[in-house]
Amino acid sequence: MKAVLIPGDGIGPEIAKSVENITEAMKLDIEWITYQAGAEYATTTKEVFEPGLVDAIKEYKWALKGPTATPIGTGFRSVNVALRQQFATYANVRPIRSFKGIDSKYENIDLVMIRENTEDLYKGIEYMINDNMANGIKLITREASEKICRYAFEYAKMNNRHKVTAIHKANIMKYTDGLFLEAFRDVARDYPNIEAQEVIVDNMCMQLVLRPETFDVLVAPNLYGDIVSDLCAGLIGGLGFAPSGNIGDEYRIYEAVHGSAPDIAGQNIANPSALLLAFALMLEAMGKLEEANQLRDALAAVVEEGKIVTPDIGGTATTTEFTQAIIEKL
C-alpha cells in the first residue's frame, strides 16, 4: 500500500530516513510517496506544501509527518494547522508509555491523551479591541465535543481500557466547558462498563504529577489537551519518545510530537524514536499489530541496553547507527 511521507524541516529528513530504512528492513508492504513541506521548502518556493501533497493524502489516506517549522512573521500558514483543517483530523491521540532506559521520575506510566483538535481557543478567532485590549474567542460546539468524547470511549473499549477522564474547567467556564462536560456525560451513558470521571484541569495537573497510575484514557478540549499532553510527556522523561496521531473520519496523519530541532539538524545525531513510534501507531491502525509491536520491542530493547543510542539519551551513536541497531534487533 502507498502512504505519504513528509520529512519536514531540520532533523526531519534524517529521522524520516530512519523510517524508510526500517520499512525496507522489515519488508513492510508500504511504499512511501515523499512530499516536501515546511519552512525550508517555503523559502525557495513561497509555498508551504509541495504541489500534489494534499491530493496524495486524499488518495492514500495515510501520512507520516516529520516536524515542520513555521516561518515567523512572513504570513505563511503553519503546515500542521493547514493539514489539520484540510483533513478534518478532529482527534489528536497521544499514547504516553514509560520507556526502560530513559531517565524519568516515574516508572510504568501508561496513559492515552485524546485532545480535541479543531476548535476551542485555537480556532483562531482573535482581534484587537483597541491598541491595549485584545479578545480571543473560545468556541466549543456540542458536535465536536460529542465526537471527541465518543472517540475517547470507543478507544477505551477497543483497547481494553477501563476509565475515561474528562478534563475541564466548567466550574468557571460554565457555557463552553459546561457544554463539553454535558456532551461527555451524554456519551458516557452509552458505555456503562467504562468508568467516566471528571476532573478540573488545575487539579488534573496536580493529580497527574502525584498519582499518574490512577488515570487511563484522558479526553480534553483543545487548549487543556495541548498543555496536559506535554505534562504527560514530562512524566516519561520528555518529548523524545512521544508519538501522536491526528485522526479524522477518512484521513490519518501521524507525527512525532517534538519540533525540527534546528540546533542539531544535519549532524546525523537526532533521535528518530518518536517518529518511529508514530510509525508504529500507524502500522497498528493499518491492522499490522504484530509489525507495530515488533518495531516497538526492538526500539525498546536498544534503548534499554543503552549502548548504541543517540546523544540526547546519553549515548554517542549517530541516527544511522541507532537505526541499524534497531534493525539488528528486528
Q: Which is nearer to ligand NAD, 181 or 256 (CB)?
A: 256
Q: What are phi and psi of 105, to 5 degrees?
A: -80, -15
Q: Which is nearer to ligand NAD, 234 or 262 (CB)?
A: 262
Q: If you search the block for the grid coordinates 546519553, which residue do you land on?
A: 314
H helix runs in 189-272, sequence order: 201-210, 222-235
Q: Which is nearer to ligand NAD, 7 or 212 (CB)?
A: 7
- Binding-site ranges for ligand NAD (CB under 6 A): 11, 67-70, 80, 240, 255, 258-264, 270-271, 312
- Whole-Å CA distances, 127 to 119, 132, 137, 173: 17, 11, 9, 20
Q: Which is nearer to ligand NAD, 166 or 275 (CB)?
A: 275
CB 246 within 8 A of CB 92: yes
CB 47 within 8 A of CB 41: yes
CA distance linking residue 205 with residue 193, whole number of Å: 26
Q: Which is nearer to ligand NAD, 9 or 177 (CB)?
A: 9
Residue 96, classed as helix, strand or coil, is strand
127: how many CB neighbours lie within 10 A of its CB?
9
Q: Which is nearer to ligand NAD, 67 or 315 (CB)?
A: 67
Name the nearest CA neighbour of 138 among 172, 187, 177, 169. 177
Q: 294-298 long-range contacts, Cβ below 8 Å, gap at least 24?
A: 294/26, 294/330, 295/22, 295/26, 295/326, 295/330, 297/329, 298/326, 298/327, 298/329, 298/330
Q: Which is nearer to ligand NAD, 268 or 294 (CB)?
A: 268
Q: Which residue is nearest to ligand NAD (CB)?
A: 259
Name the nearest CA neighbour of 83 among 217, 245, 221, 216. 245
